[in-house]
């Protein structure tokens, strides 16, 4: 399934070529950077992507997104849960558009406090007010307040045109049990339940490549896009990044860069690429046979993610199939979590699904609906490491889920609230029975066990090359890699931790701001 007239340049295979800017990774952030940097006709921009320039069959149809997991557009990683030794899918996009090619198309910025916490954690200048112009620059949200939402950005977002009736009943249930309501979950100023935006237009998925890259390639001759090309390492000479090495067309290639190289390979990929280049914890690099170039101990540390579980119900009558992504309603609230220090900002998100996708497979009836929940402020952290020095070897991902026991306390709090919603009187016409965890599980021990046995990754990876000025940070507040000139990172890896929201909007904003930092440094205070 080809993207509309996206011309993929292949100039330079087997040769050394030179550009002003090289962008390594054609996912969400890479599409933004390539498009914005190439707006200047006086520079040459190269975008290199390991995956394809094509989408898998069915990718445009919102309802069938689960079939994309494990497809050619997914790196296909699995991680091992250290508690249960379960093998858990760890999807991440592979191809132009990255994870916007395979995700659930949910577009939620979340509450401003989640971003202000970044600044409090040392990412100076990266609070909500700092990011707001770039949130707005990336989007067109025609049905929202233009004071806080974009009106002319490349990514058009809005709520689904027709709400699923079971989702509407569940929204009524949240009102019945006294939970707050939100008119716009992406305004940054509300907590509560409401209809969130989606990246669906005219019934079809819209990716970062659609919004940014395809129009740029159509209009410009100074942008070269190379797909099916794995970047092996960045080149560093005398403390300066001078380009990249990558494999494509069965050959090794070098792309020299006269201004800046920007890593946009994602939370896993950018950390992996830095490590392959000898930039990272020296002891780890030596242990896997990589010659250290710069001892930067924070690379690959601080992996942050949300875990997702849910309460599921067999429906008393047929749940309509719907015309969207089965996830059009959500809520974020502040809930007291026993023993949890962070009680000052929204900390739990609920995702209402008009199908039973969140229910564990062994308990999932054909006709069902579910109330997913996730702790938005997890304390647990993991790592990304190399298995060996080969670029095509899968990285070693250790997510560290529930390594901080308070995170399981938060998930238990969320489960009980989800059950309260699910038991509301207004849902009686829809509710046949609770199937997950089910009425047989009532004790705290049983419910904790259910969460541990049923959770999955929420695919919200962040933090492996975080912004800061301390010894464990990787990039400075201008996204420049410490100790190396001409090299930046501009994707979810630079987040100090995953925001209290779905991170796609934040990745767009980070990339927009990165483009501004690179092209107009005086305006950004460098």
Query: What is the chain's length?
Result: 526
3-state secondary structure of 7: coil
Maximal CA-CA distance, the chain: 70
What are the CA-CA distances from residue 130 to residues 136, 473, 475 (Å)? 11, 20, 17
The answer to whether 231 and 25 are in contact (CB under 8 A) is yes
- CA separation for the pair 138, 340 (Å, rounded): 35
Question: Are the C-beta atoms of residues 264 and 27 closer than 8 Å to each other?
Answer: yes
Cα–Cα distance between 132 and 269 in angstroms, integer?
27
Contacts of 383 (CB under 8 A, 6+ apart): 300, 301, 303, 396, 397, 398, 400, 464
Residue 475: closest CA among 124, 37, 137:
124
Closest C-alpha to 381, from 267, 510, 504: 267
CB 517 within 8 A of CB 526: yes
DSSP state of 54: B
Specify the residue for token string 């067309």: 249
Q: Cα dist. 56→69, 95, 101, 335, 525 in Å? A: 11, 10, 9, 40, 42
Place of tokens 């490549």: 209
**Cβ contacts of 181-185, under 8 Å, gap ≥ 24:** 182/331, 182/332, 184/144, 184/145, 184/148, 184/149, 185/108, 185/109, 185/110, 185/330, 185/331, 185/332
At residue 256, φ and ψ (nearest 5 deg) are -85, 145
Q: In sequence order, which ranges of 305-440 are alpha helices (DSSP H)?
A: 406-422
Cα gap 65→44, rounded to integer Å: 35
Angle at the Cα of 301 from the Cα atoms of 299 and 307, rounded to 5 degrees: 135
Options 111, 196, 284, 460, the catalytic residue: 460
Distances (CA, A) of 390 to 23, 273, 276, 376: 21, 11, 8, 35
d(CA 479, CA 500): 21
Would you call 460 a catalytic residue per the annotation?
yes
Active site residues: 460
């Amino acid at each position: 399934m080809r993207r509309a007239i996206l011309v993929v340049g292949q100039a330079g295979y087997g040769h050394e070529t030179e550009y002003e800017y090289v962008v390594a990774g054609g996912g969400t952030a890479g599409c933004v950077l390539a498009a914005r940097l190439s707006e200047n006709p006086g520079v040459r921009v190269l975008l290199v992507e390991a995956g394809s320039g094509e989408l898998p069959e069915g990718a445009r149809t919102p309802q069938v997104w689960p079939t994309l997991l494990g497809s050619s557009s997914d790196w296909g990683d699995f991680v091992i849960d250290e508690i249960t030794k379960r093998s858990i899918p760890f999807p991440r996009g592979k191809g132009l558009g990255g994870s916007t090619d395979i995700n659930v198309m949910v577009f939620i910025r979340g509450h401003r406090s989640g971003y202000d916490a970044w600044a409090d954690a040392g990412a100076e200048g990266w609070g909500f007010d700092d990011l707001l112009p770039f949130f707005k620059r990336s989007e067109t949200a025609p049905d929202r307040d233009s004071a806080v939402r974009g009106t002319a950005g490349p990514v058009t977002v809005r709520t689904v045109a027709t709400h699923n009736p079971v989702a509407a009943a569940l929204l009524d249930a949240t009102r019945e049990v006294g939970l707050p309501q939100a008119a716009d979950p992406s305004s940054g100023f509300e907590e509560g339940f409401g209809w969130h935006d989606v990246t669906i237009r005219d019934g079809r998925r819209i990716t970062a490549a659609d919004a940014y890259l395809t129009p740029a390639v159509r209009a410009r001759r100074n942008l070269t896009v190379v797909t099916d090309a794995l970047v092996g390492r960045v080149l560093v000479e005398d403390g300066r990044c001078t380009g990249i090495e990558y494999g494509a067309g069965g050959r090794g290639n070098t792309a020299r860069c006269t201004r800046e190289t920007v890593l946009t390979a994602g939370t896993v990929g950018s950390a992996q690429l830095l490590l392959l280049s000898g930039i990272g914890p020296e002891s780890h690099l030596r242990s896997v046979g990589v010659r250290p170039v710069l001892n930067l101990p924070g690379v690959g540390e601080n992996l942050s993610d949300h875990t997702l579980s849910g309460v599921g119900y067999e429906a008393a009558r047929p749940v309509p199939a719907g015309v969207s992504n089965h996830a059009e309603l959500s809520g974020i609230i502040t809930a007291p979590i026993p023993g949890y220090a962070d009680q000052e900002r929204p900390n739990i998100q609920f995702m209402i699904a008009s199908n039973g996708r969140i229910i564990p497979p062994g308990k999932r009836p054909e006709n069902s609906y579910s109330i997913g929940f996730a702790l938005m402020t997890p304390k647990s952290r993991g790592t990304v490491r190399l298995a060996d020095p080969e670029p095509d070897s899968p990285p070693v991902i250790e997510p560290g889920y529930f390594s901080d026991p308070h995170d399981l306390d938060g998930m238990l709090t969320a489960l009980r609230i989800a059950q309260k919603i699910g038991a509301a009187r207004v849902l009686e016409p829809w509710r046949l029975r609770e199937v997950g965890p089910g009425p047989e599980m009532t004790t705290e021990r049983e419910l904790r066990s259910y969460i541990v046995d049923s959770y999955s990754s929420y695919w919200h990876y962040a933090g492996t090359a975080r912004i800061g000025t301390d010894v464990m940070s990787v990039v400075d507040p201008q996204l420049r890699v410490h100790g190396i000139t001409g090299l930046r990172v501009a994707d979810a890896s630079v987040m100090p931790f995953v925001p209290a929201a779905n991170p796609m909007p934040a990745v767009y904003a980070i990339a927009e701001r990165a483009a501004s930092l690179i092209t107009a440094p005086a305006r950004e205070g460098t």
